[in-house]
Amino acid sequence: MRVRLIREAARRIALGLMRSGRASSNIQDVGNLLRLDRIAGGYYWIECSGDELRQGPTLLDAEPLQDSFRLAMARSGRGPQPAIPAPRRELNPRPRFSVRRDVVFER
């Protein structure tokens, strides 16, 4: 029996495609790939390593998609990220003096 590892990147890409509404939740294992049904017809083909994403009716006819699209789907598959905390306020802030001075010109 052959054990195949599906990396977290491939899972995130698949989840991102489903969350964005581009693919249905029907996922099949096909050899060393994951196959998702496209909403617009055809399939998305994801390598189990998450290194490549293809689109097409069959694996032989599938065209590779841009890396930026693959990375965007992986980011959206991560889910909501925690908010960036606000910077801490100083307890005793130093007074700030203005450097600008009023200049009066005389004739």
pLDDT digits (tens, 9 = 90+) for 37-75: 999 999 999 999 899 999 999 999 999 999 999 999 999
What pLDDT is stored for residue 1 in this prediction? 40
Flag whether 29 is in a domain: yes
Name the token pair of 90: 């100083």
Q: Measured at the alpha carbon of residue 68, what is the angle toward residues 56 and 18, in degrees to the nearest 5?
A: 55
Flag whether 93 is in a domain: no
pLDDT digits (tens, 9 = 90+) for 81-95: 666 766 666 666 666
Q: What is the mean pLDDT of the chain?
A: 83
Instruction: Residue 72: give its domain's CATH number.
Output: 3.10.450
What pLDDT is stored for residue 93 in this prediction? 63
pLDDT digits (tens, 9 = 90+) for 73-83: 999 888 776 66
- Who's near 30: CB < 8 A, 6+ residues apart? 45, 59
Strand partners, 83: none
Flag whether 69 is in a domain: yes
Number of domain units in the chain: 1
Domain region containing 49: 8-77
- Who's near 45: CB < 8 A, 6+ residues apart? 30, 33, 34, 35, 53, 54, 55, 56, 59, 62
